Chain A
Amino acid sequence: MSLARPATDRSQPPPPAALRPFDFPPFHHQRLANGLRVLAMSMPRVPLVDLQILVPAGGQFDAPELPGLANLHGGLLDEGTARRSSLELAGLVEGLGGSLGSGAGWNMAYIEAGLLSDHLDRGLELLAEVVRSPGFAPSELDRTRQRIQAEILRRKGLPASLAERFFAAAVYGDTVYGRPLIGTAESLDQIDRDHLKGFYDRHVVPDGSTLIAVGDLDVDQLMARVEHHLGDWHAAPRPSEPVIEPAKLARTEVHIVDRPGSAQTQLLLGHLGVPRSHPDYPQTTLLNAIFGGKFTSRINLNLREEHGFTYGAQSSFARRRGPGPFSVRAAVATEVTGAATEQLLLEMRRIQQEPVSVEELRETQDYLVGVFPYTLQTISDIAKRLEAIAIFDLPSDYYEHYPAVLGDISREEVLAAAQRHFDPDHLAIIAVGSAEDLRPQLESFGPVLVHQP
């Protein structure tokens, strides 16, 4: 260091240099003759590939009498095929340093494989085998059923899981989103092999399904191998979309899940949201970021940094094909549960009454737009974006325009979105903790129901 070094001026944040622009990388999209869609991106930075097939076999298709069928079906897909046992399949993929998995969410079921790119063809072959000829062997059914039963039991001890379960029941009542995706102890006992095979026949079809491939791959070679392994997958009609139309609550309800001796309260409140396809999606994204979707959100600064009530408060609009919930979550100290709830309601009302400030809007837009390349570093980051395109039927150029769309939203539009999509007078408020401590703090918000886990 030279002696003549001038003192560094630290009084102001230094200005940025020139921005290096970024665009969502191009990708390949194609539909096979049998209806299977393929989305693929070459990303050769590391010698890995990520492969997955999404099929229209999500929990949204569960019948009222058999919740958990889609989840059990999804979990069983990779547990053996007509030719190979579960352990043989796992041994093949894991022996190559890869992984194989399957499961179901509300929207779709998936089968996925992560492999060193040298084994791309092997991965496609196994995915095709799994999707086209799963075994549903009775022994695997029993094993997987018992594993899920134990998971249901485990979740009864988890405050966050308990809150989710009672929240869904309160907001969605007797519609499909009101029943647990994982099923219930009773429904799982009733599911037999015929249910699974029937569900498979109706839902695991090429039309409505998408193969996603990202990583160190050559698109032409990939397409040739996809044609080879999946081109003759027989066509069948895609399942029709279920109608999910829950009624909103008549008034705010308080549900306490009694867990005596709890060290803190797991708080979850919210109401119906909108389907992912709603035209207000970008506005609600921005609204949520300001309200509770980032570290410097209003509720985190209020509950954590101002009051010290919690380690963190967040909100989200769950993105589903049907109307997923808007919800707010925080684990708060028991004695401040009422005060924290009050602050959350105040913040919901405030953002409905006055437009967000110019600075707040600007810095949130700059954050959401600026952070975009950071969210696209890995092959699974990219796969997630392609997944969204597949699941929500987004146009293939969606992510080219996404930053500009977010950047153009005005304060008035955020206010209008808050007025349309926040409803602090018709909330389900769930608190998991000691009912004795919580009831007096929460009864002013609405009628209180106490539940056992």
Chain B
Amino acid sequence: MTIQSSTRDAASNSSAPRLQDAPARSFELRRETLSNGLQVVMHRDPSLPLVAINLWYHVGSKNESPGRTGFAHLFEHLLFQGSQNVGTNDHFRYIQQAGGVANGSTWYDRTNYFEVLPSHQLDLGLWLESDRMGFFLPAITQEKMDNQREVVINERRQKMDNQPYGRAFERLHELLYTEGHPYRWPVIGYVEDLTAATLADVSDFFGTFYVPSNAVLTLAGDIDTDHALSRIEHFFGDIPGGAAIPQLEVPPARLTQEQREVQGDDVQLPRIYMGFNAPAYGADGWYAADLLAAALAEGKSSVLYEDLVYRRQLAQDVGCYVFPTELTATFAVISTARPGVDPNVLEAALTEHFARVASEPLPEVHFERSLNQRLTDYYSQLQTLDRRADLLSMFTTYFDDPAGMVHEVERYRSLSPEDLRAFAAAHLGTDQRAIVTVVPRADVAQVVACGATGQRDAEQEASVQPAKVPSASQGSDAAEAQS
């Protein structure tokens, strides 16, 4: 299928373009399904002699059980340790000597594996991916598992436990999601759970989730789609399909009472992590949340940056984002206090801003700027074949609609400033939020005593203690684990 939107209006050179004027990208897309259930998306673009191969398995940390957190990501590491016909370290070796790059990543809702190769090496990539989809279990050993467990524990230390602020994001999710909600635990998992994982867990997980019918394979780049489809059929066609994936039962995610905690850490400057629940990715409300996040904190002229960082100089930095997740979404704002600024003062200023965006529509200039920024982002991410392939896999996996990638711009342009206000009013209330305030260890007691709201129950008091380990990064870095 070919998707084409309206043609480019080259005349409008004098004023800022709106998304209404979005120039079109013409995308050649073709979609097929093999008899074993594997979904295939192909996108031809011969500008460079490259092909991106991107495979999404619809399984992530949300499919883990408590006690086995981090398993989806550990499993992703194991999938790079060889299969029946591919030696232990040979996956990367084959790819690199062909002039390609490869990696994988694990997220709450999915795990992806990808390579970009010179286009004449298409077969190599298909051979590697099909061998581990169909013939992985014969190659796994206890030794490989123990080795990769150590690698992952070191990954966790490097990204979280040995970084300032490194455990704040994990804690925010623990406060924001109730017991039993699969977004409550971190994608990388807890060390004790990683230690407990067994080889039996590996074969169960593989048999349940790593089946063709739970996967989307996307090729993007310098391909002939008829030829490529025949090669896909050749390598993947004889892998048996699988049973349907077990349905998740998920408790509701909305908070009705503020949750807060002060974390002591080896840091010099206090930092606030404030989280809320937003509608799931794909909902209108998610796009409103994302556009609001851009208006609040993307660029120097954004609402929060201009006021808190530039004018009042309460903050060293401020960031705002909403995760593109399937069950529900985390809307978060993260801001570091300037030296000498009481974090409770910074928190009160943030609270004031959220109250304002919930009561008055954003000024047009902020709304327009954010729309234009999303338009630039859209074009920017189309530049690489890897990103395009990943987006096509994502839209197919989540929404059964690869073309949704092209139409996403329209989702933003259907919004009005009032939609952003309505989102804020419905989701960004003080009783709907969780707050983790990270402070230098010596300041914990003082910051707690002067808390902005003073509303803490006994259980929360008890949890106010220095983090066990000094700690890490923020936002999606902390949540996405790479191989």
Interface residues of A (CB under 8 A from B): 1, 5, 7-8, 10-22, 45-48, 86-87, 90-91, 94-99, 114-116, 118, 143, 146-147, 149-151, 153-154, 156-159, 259, 261-264, 266, 294-296, 301, 304-306, 308-311, 331-333, 362-364, 366-367, 369-374, 376-379
Which residue of chain A has its CB nearest to the CB of B302?
A94
The reply to whether A333 and B127 contact each other, CB–CB distance below 8 Å, is no
B48 contacts A22, C-beta separation under 8 Å = yes
Among A45, A115, A116, A331, the residue within 8 A (CB) of B47 is: A45
The verdict on B310 contacting chain A, using a C-beta distance below 8 Å, is yes
A373 engages B49 (CB within 8 Å): yes
Query: In the complex, A12 Cα to B85 Cα: how many Å?
Result: 7
| Least distance between B54 CB and chain A CB atoms (Å) | 14
Contact A379–B383 (Cβ < 8 Å)? yes
Return the chain B residue nearest A91 by Cβ. Answer: B301
Q: A149-B339, A159-B163 provided; 20 other pairs, C-beta below 8 A?
A: A1-B34, A5-B238, A47-B8, A48-B376, A91-B365, A94-B298, A94-B302, A98-B376, A146-B313, A158-B163, A261-B266, A264-B161, A296-B89, A304-B151, A363-B97, A370-B97, A370-B98, A371-B101, A373-B48, A374-B116
B contact residues around A363 at 8 Å (CB): 93, 96-97
What residues of B have a CB within 8 angstroms of the CB of A99 in the complex? 299
Chain B residues numbered 258-304 whose CB sits less than 8 Å from any CB in chain A:
266-269, 298-302
- Which of B13, B130, B154, B306 has the most CB atoms of chain A within a 10 A radius of its CB? B154
A308–B146 contact, CB under 8 A?
yes
Q: Indicate if the CB atoms of A378 and B383 lie closer than 8 Å.
A: yes
Q: Does B50 contact A (CB under 8 A)?
A: yes
In the complex, the chain B residue whose C-beta lies closest to that of A359 is B97
**A263 contacts B470, C-beta separation under 8 Å:** yes
Q: Which residues of A contact B365 (CB under 8 A)?
A: 91, 95
By beta carbon, the residue of chain A nearest B380 is A48
State whether A13 touches B163 (Cβ < 8 A). Answer: no
> B16 contacts the other chain (Cβ, under 8 Å)?
yes
Q: Are A310 and B266 in contact (CB under 8 A)?
A: no
Interfacial chain B residues near A12, Cβ < 8 Å: 85
CB contacts (< 8 Å) of A96 on chain B: these are: 16-17, 372
**Which chain B positions have C-beta within 8 A of A116?**
17, 372, 375-376, 379
Binary contact readout B8-29 vs A (1 if CB under 8 angstroms, 0 otherwise): 1000110011000001010000
Question: Across the two chains, which residue of chain B brings its CB closest to A373?
Answer: B48
User: Can you list 22 A-B pairs, Cβ within 8 angstroms, ordered by A?
Assistant: A8-B234, A16-B121, A16-B123, A46-B25, A48-B380, A91-B300, A94-B369, A95-B16, A95-B372, A97-B371, A97-B372, A97-B376, A98-B376, A146-B339, A261-B469, A262-B162, A262-B470, A264-B158, A305-B151, A308-B147, A311-B159, A374-B100
Q: Are A95 and B376 in touch, CB under 8 angstroms?
A: no
Chain B residue at minimum C-beta to C-beta distance from A294: B96
| Residue among A1, A146, A159, A296 having the largest count of chain B Cβ atoms under 10 Å | A296
B82-109 residues at the A interface, CB under 8 angstroms:
84-85, 88-89, 92-94, 96-101
Measured between alpha carbons, how far is A98 from B153 in the docked complex, in Å?
A: 40
Q: What separation, in Å, do the CA atoms of A153 and B341 have in the docked complex?
A: 14
Contacts of A379 in B (CB 8 A): 383
Q: Are A8 and B238 in contact (CB under 8 A)?
A: yes
Say whether B450 faces chain A, with CB atoms less than 8 Å apart.
no
Residues in B neighbouring A1, C-beta threshold 8 A: 34-36, 233, 237-238
Assess whether A295 is in contact with B47, with CB atoms less than 8 Å apart. no
Which chain A residue lies CB-closest to B155? A311
B17 x A118 contact (CB < 8 A): yes
| Residue from the list A7, A14, A331 in contact with B127, Cβ < 8 A | A14
